[in-house]
Structure 1
Amino acid sequence: MPRIVVEVMPKPEILDPQGKAIASALPHLGFDGFSGVRQGRRFELTVEGEVTEGILEQARRAAEDLLSNPVIEDVVDVRVEGDA
């Protein structure tokens, strides 16, 4: 079944305490070479049948209106994965 994946990230000017905590933990766990981490969210919307342009547009609207908080987050990607 095809699915639409929506990725949401905090806006660049918004503090990301979870990302900061992860970034400071990485070297202690032996992971070097990373200068920063931003943590976001991923949503998977399963589609019954074919992903049409209309369904994809509905997913984009849902991402902007429901899945993200437009004050502090950006929708960075809406894409189809799986059998389209």
Structure 2
Amino acid sequence: MSRWDVLVEVSPRAEIADPAGATTERALGALGFLGVSGVRVGKAIRMEIAAADVAQARSMAEQMCGRLLANPVIEVARIEVHAVPQHHDP
């Protein structure tokens, strides 16, 4: 069993209104950060998963998204999976 670092980024679908994103965009403009547009606010979930391989780790993360982490009707989830570096004792 290997260990995998998993990052799940959940954000509103493009066609779904994002009031938090719009508020953040306006606030950035008011603070002098001009030229900022298309702000979308979501959430990031980081975890470590024990799995046989990267495909199994990704599959587990996809199942988690479908059952708890994201609402597929209004949100999209992007998943990144990377091997946890193994430390070798001298």
Task: Say yes or no: TM over 0.5.
Answer: yes
Q: Encode CA deviations 1:24-55: one digit per residue, 9 max, x unaligned.
A: 01111121111221111111112357754212
Match of 1:66 in 2: 68
CA RMSD in angstroms comes to: 2.1
User: Matched residue of 1:58: which SS?
Assistant: helix
Could you tell me whether the CA contact under 8 Å between 1:2 and 1:50 is conserved in 2? no
2:29 partner amino acid:
P
More strand by share: 2
Which ranges of 4 or more aligned residues in structure 1 deviate by more than 3 Å? 48-52
Higher RCO by CA contacts (8 Å cutoff, separation 6 or greater):
1
- Give the gaps of 5 or more residues in structure 1: none
Q: TM-score, normalised by structure 2?
A: 0.76
Q: TM-score, normalised by structure 1?
A: 0.81
- Give the gaps of 5 or more residues in structure 2: 86-90
Greater Rg over alpha carbons, structure:
2
User: Matched residue of 2:64: which SS?
Assistant: helix
